Amino acid sequence: MRSRRSRSSPPRYSGFGLIRRGLTGTSWPPAWRRYEPRRRYDVVVIGGGVHGLATAYYLAAQHGLTNVAVLERGYLGGGASGRNTAIIRSNYLTPEGVRFYDRSVRLYESLAAELNFNAMFSQRGHLTLAHSDSALRIMRWRAEVNRLQGVDSSVIGRAEIASLVPSLDVTDHPRFPILGGLWHPPGGIIRHDAVVWGYARAADALGVHLHQDTEVVGIDVSGGRVRGVRTNRGQIAAPAVVTCTAGWASTVCDLAGIELPITTFPLQAAVTEPVRPFLDTVVVSGTLHVYVSQSDRGELVFGAAVDPVPSYSTRGSLEFTENVAAHVLELMPALAQVRILRQWAGLCDMTPDFSPIIGPTPVEGFYVDVGWGTYGFKAGPVAGEAMAALVATGKTPELIEPFDLARFTDGRLVGERGAAAVGH
């Protein structure tokens, strides 16, 4: 669909514009433009998901670097950014993690206004259920760590859970009765495609080039420095290259000769047919490996843990559907007649400590923003902001210092598993 498009940047969205276009029947111009790749950019970002687009946007918006290209092999938001369950939260376990994701929640709160794009962030609260004494103990620990970092989290009992989510079975009958929960009011869900499109549109308006259908097939490194990338649309020189490629991170880094401690696992999700609104929090159960939220369209969105076997396949499996249905019904027996409409998988780049790898690499000018595992979407804005600052200034922001690649050789792991095992 290569069409002739205006070279001027897209108009700002407004209520007035909506009425005017509705009355006059004028069509909306494309939200971002198409270009032939330049031979040289100041920064090349590999990966057109939320991380890549946020990096490009903040490079332009906060650092004035506009000679920037985002290279996406498929279409914008077609990878993990469009395949997650759109949950946002900051109730992590390690102080490093909590600080980091709290900044991301704050950026998400002001995102729609900043990008002039309705991202529909719904801070409806995030409830993680405890079905065992040990889970409750970790929750108390998490709540304390959260509160010390200024993040709203508390452990609540059965009665309060029953009033927050009346559809939950809080009796003693289930195999794993609900004992308590971690209640995190700032958490919620967001329209994930809109986040991607909002960043893309805003970056485009600032002059960033977004190249879809553009696959990186080689990365040129000489003298320990990155020189550029080779793509299916020709060679592009760049003194700085950032990779934000989620599940494909290690195959892309292989091109630059960088080995990563990453294994790729699919994470499956599913949605049901739309039903009337009845669930206005995000409900998570680590023991049952499931999380449930209701979208603004009424669909119930289900997610689970990553598949037990590494793979690059994004197909769903019957095994997943059976398990997720069984687990949801244990929590909410009233859903027995609701039908699942569709399922899919996204690729997660899992690291040994469940924390990301973000920062410089042994190849000068080549930066990684990878290893997000099951919570990359939550971190998109803050990772983009931090990465833009790193690329533009050469100094690693304090917020991402703990997450550098060197921690695996220096033995400084950031163990986030306690908050990551299905605590999405």
Partner 1 sequence: MITLVCPHCGPRDATEFAYIGERTARPDPNDTTPQEWRGYLYLRSNPAGWADELWLHRAGCGRYLAVRRHRTTGAVDEVRDVGAGGEP
d(CA 262, CA 312): 13
Record the tokens describing residue 397, joined without a space.
Answer: 């922001």
Segment (H or E) for 210: strand 209-211
Give residues 178-217 in contact with partner 1 (rule: CB under 8 A).
Answer: none
Residue 119 interacts with partner 1 (CB under 8 A): yes or no: no
Of 263, 252, 209, the C-alpha closest to 69 is 209
Residue 310 interacts with partner 1 (CB under 8 A): yes or no: yes
Smallest distance from partner 1 to CB 161, Å: 32
Residue 262 interacts with partner 1 (CB under 8 A): yes or no: yes
Give residues 388-417 in contact with partner 1 (rule: CB under 8 A).
Answer: 408-409, 411
Residue 273 interacts with partner 1 (CB under 8 A): yes or no: no
Per DSSP (E only), the strands in 31-173 are 43-46, 68-71, 87-88, 126-130, 154-156
Smallest distance from partner 1 to CB 220, Å: 22
Concatenate the DSSP letters of all residues of 60-82 into one string.
Answer: HHHH----EEEE-SSSTT-SGGG
Residue 166 interacts with partner 1 (CB under 8 A): yes or no: no
d(CA 342, CA 151): 35
23 Rama class: left (phi>0) / alpha (psi -120 to 50) / beta: alpha
CA-angle at 113, arms to 108 and 114, nearest 5°: 75
Residue 184, amino acid? H
Give residues 340-379 in contact with partner 1 (rule: CB under 8 A).
Answer: 352
Residue 311 interacts with partner 1 (CB under 8 A): yes or no: yes
Cα 420 to chain centroid, rounded: 14
Between 163 and 313, CB nearer to partner 1: 313
How many residues belong to the site for partner 1 (CB under 8 A)? 22
Smallest distance from partner 1 to CB 326, Å: 14
Residue 9 interacts with partner 1 (CB under 8 A): yes or no: no
d(CA 323, CA 291): 12
Stretch that binds partner 1, among 72-80, 111-119, 162-170, 312-320 (CB under 8 A): 312-320
d(CA 227, CA 393): 19
Residue 251 interacts with partner 1 (CB under 8 A): yes or no: yes
Stretch that binds partner 1, among 2-10, 98-106, 185-193, 308-316 (CB under 8 A): 308-316
Among 25, 64, 223, 308, which residue interacts with partner 1 (rule: CB under 8 A)?
A: 308
Residue 319 interacts with partner 1 (CB under 8 A): yes or no: yes
Stretch that binds partner 1, among 114-122, 130-138, 228-236, 256-264 (CB under 8 A): 256-264
Residue labelled with tokens 């039908």: 339
d(CA 137, CA 282): 21
Between 301 and 325, CB nearer to partner 1: 325
Among 263, 278, 392, 397, which residue interacts with partner 1 (rule: CB under 8 A)?
A: 263
Binding site for partner 1 (CB under 8 A): 248, 250-251, 259-264, 308-313, 317-319, 352, 408-409, 411
